[in-house]
Amino acid sequence: MAVTFSRLFGFAMVVVATLALAGCGGIMPKSSSLRASQSLKSATLTKLKDMGSSPGQAMMIRLFKQTNEFEVWKRTTAGTYKLFKTYEICAYSGTLGPKIKEGDRQAPEGFYNITPGLMNPNSSYYLSFDTGFPNKFDRAYGRTGSDLMVHGDCSSRGCYSMTDEAIAEIYALVRESFAGGNPVVQMQIYPFRMTPQRLAAYSTNPNIGFWQNLKEGYDRFELAKMPPSWDVCEKKYVFDLKREDGSPLEAAAACPPRSNDSLWMALQAKQAADDAVYKTEVAAISSREAKNAAAVQAEAEAKAAAKARGDAMGNFVGGLFGGGQPAPAETPTETPASGGGAPVPAPAPKGT
């Protein structure tokens, strides 16, 4: 019985550990799906109307890890997108940078398409939807992971966690966008806002090339206020780029040629200006770091010189007062015997 219990306990621990590493895809009983059918609040409907949008209009999401910002953008009747609301990300695990492998407890970065099949109305984390990790780009690099969600419950093991109130509204907004006939909700996940100043601050980070790749998609949205279509070729993200027949690109194959439309020209101008700022910022940061390193070195040398002077003065003063060198230890001497030879024994006490 003891052996059987031990085996069962060990098996249970393995299951728990596996679930802990697998992400945040827990399932609750079907009754919890009532949360998924909650109506949008009247204040939300009014805000959508006032900005020229509606629940059924298309939607886009942007996340910024560094500032814990979760943005919801909605398409308006003008055709462009406006920021509807910024929510605070309650928790996410890991650091700045993409997710690489199952169990690294890292929240993903990149471009993802949320589809109706990724919605989880029965989540054990109140409500949730899957980010779609690994996407085409992730798979091109052999990255692994599962159940990387946006969910409630304000706790994370590689996911993006919101408060229950926030995920209830976000979930409903995504649901209504699908109901309006939109097949996907694009989700863009960044480490920080893709400004040249922010990128320069991380110029020595091993992910800098990946982040500069993401910046093109970020810039396209900033210029056009329309989510760019994304794909992968040459193992990098490309945006608004398709084959002549419209078929998907091959992740590791060469990219097709690009036509120079007006957005591409505007993007080239922006990137040239940003690149100049980036290089200036990197040079300034390098200069500051060199000055700081020189100051630290100078301070260390000054302290070492002061210590050396103090030691020398201590030795000099000690020498003046006989404290410069320790006195040699006295060697015990023996009283020589008369006539030389063996020591003379002490006289015996009187009275014996």
Q: Is 159 a catalytic residue?
A: yes
Look-up of token digits 């997108």: 81
- Collapsed DSSP state (helix, strand, coil) of residue 346: coil
- Tell me the C-alpha distance between 44 and 171, whole Å: 13
Contact in structure between 255 and 249 (CB atoms under 8 Å): yes
Give ∠ CA 33-39-44 in degrees, rounded to 5: 135
DSSP, residue by residue, 80-105: SEEEEEEEEP-EE-S-SS---STTS-
Catalytic residue, chosen from 90, 151, 233, 255, is 151
- Tell me the C-alpha distance between 248 and 253, whole Å: 11
Local structure of residue 32 (DSSP, 8 states): G
- Tell me the C-alpha distance between 175 and 58, whole Å: 11
Biggest CA pair distance of the chain: 133
Contact in structure between 108 and 99 (CB atoms under 8 Å): yes
Q: Is 151 a catalytic residue?
A: yes
Contacts of 337 (CB under 8 A, 6+ apart): 343, 344
Catalytic residue, chosen from 24, 90, 154, 159, is 159
Query: How distant is the alpha carbon of residue 232 from its chain centre?
Result: 22
Residues 284, 290, 293, 299: what is their CA dihedral angle, to the nearest 10 degrees? -100
What residues form DSSP beta bridges with 129?
Answer: 119, 150
Copy the structure tokens of residue 13. Answer: 């621990």
Which residues does the annotation mark as catalytic? 151, 159
